[in-house]
Amino acid sequence: MSKRVLLGMSGGVDSSTSAVILKEKGYEVVGATMRLWEDNTNEEPDSIQDAKRVCEKLGIEHHVIDLRKEFKENVIDNFICTYMCGKTPNPCVECNKFMKFDMFYKCAQKLNCEYIATGHYAKIEYSEKYGEYVLTKSNEEKKDQTYFLYGINKEILPHILFPLSEFENKEEIRDIAEKNGLGVAKKKESQEVCFIPDNDYVGFLTRNCNAFKQKNKSGNIVLNNGEVLGKHSGIINYTVGQRKGLGISYKEPLYVLKLDKENNNVIVGTEKELYSKVLKANELNFLLDIDLTKKIEVKAKIRYRAKEAVATLEVNNDLATLEFEEPQRAITPGQSVVFYLDNIVLGGGKIL
């Protein structure tokens, strides 16, 4: 079997160090940077230039793959439409599903690469118990990124490498980069959504929603019983669980419970009303071949930073019903829920 691997290189320390690790393990490494969201100028962004310098330093070939059109269609447009529908999207999930582990894998095949690799914190292992390759959590629990990876096609799991899966902390990775003379060793990590570098979601949505012939209309802020408490400036300005910035007064603190797109209302209530034991999800993807016709106990995460919670999962066609042992705070439509069996990702879906 060929040991030629196409490594996704963002110009950051994680993917750059991954190149070093893969080379040390005997792989023939080919670097590739996807150009996803930058404007239509011919000038290359810093991320591509950084990746090129790393590849030159390590003596490996580098490719730039222009996928701006595909990224807009599959990630940015989905982001805008989801917000306009009164839900809260997760663009990193969509990017991994459509770009990094679908189109990128197709690019790898064209370049005669048996594997693809990324700098994600996750593991791919062969499970004797299940008799197949599985996606499991990274050793570095705090940085584990399996929550964002549940949507990938299980058929390509045997062809994915995560070189950082065994590391316990980020300093080890930076040390490797520095020892190998990589200029990105001390480069800071970006915490923002890549296509909104200023982190101004509302500004981005306001500038772009006209392209979808929709307007960010003002409406009412109401209690569950329909009592009007004030006006909102457009539902894209709010998300479930939000307390600050509501601009209303009440006898006790109020939080956003729901965004009612149909009636253009922001529904608010007390913190106690934020908790729920049941959610439903669709757009399901499963990474294990197990019997889902019966209820099974899983641990589930309703957002990236949430703690796993014990729940019972029931699947009927493309609809999952999840009942938690303990009520969960601010279950948010549009976000992903991910199911785990021990440290293995069973699958996940979009919260309704």
Q: Which residues are catalytic?
A: 95, 194
Report the DSSP beta bridge partners of residue 322. 279, 313
Q: Which run of H or E residues covers position 107? A: helix 104-110
Cα dihedral value 121, 125, 129, 132, nearest 10:
120
Closest CA to 130 of 347, 350, 303, 310: 347
62 Rama sector, left if φ>0, alpha if ψ -120 to 50, beta otherwise = beta
CB 32 within 8 A of CB 63: yes
In the chain, where do the E strands start and end?
Answer: 4-8, 28-35, 62-66, 115-117, 123-127, 132-136, 160-161, 219-223, 228-232, 255-260, 265-269, 275-286, 296-301, 309-316, 319-329, 336-341, 344-351
Sheet containing 115-117: give its strands across.
Answer: 62-66, 28-35, 4-8, 115-117, 160-161
φ, ψ (nearest 5 deg) of residue 284: -80, 150
Cα separation, 40 vs 44, in Å, equals 10
Closest CA to 280 of 243, 207, 238, 335: 335
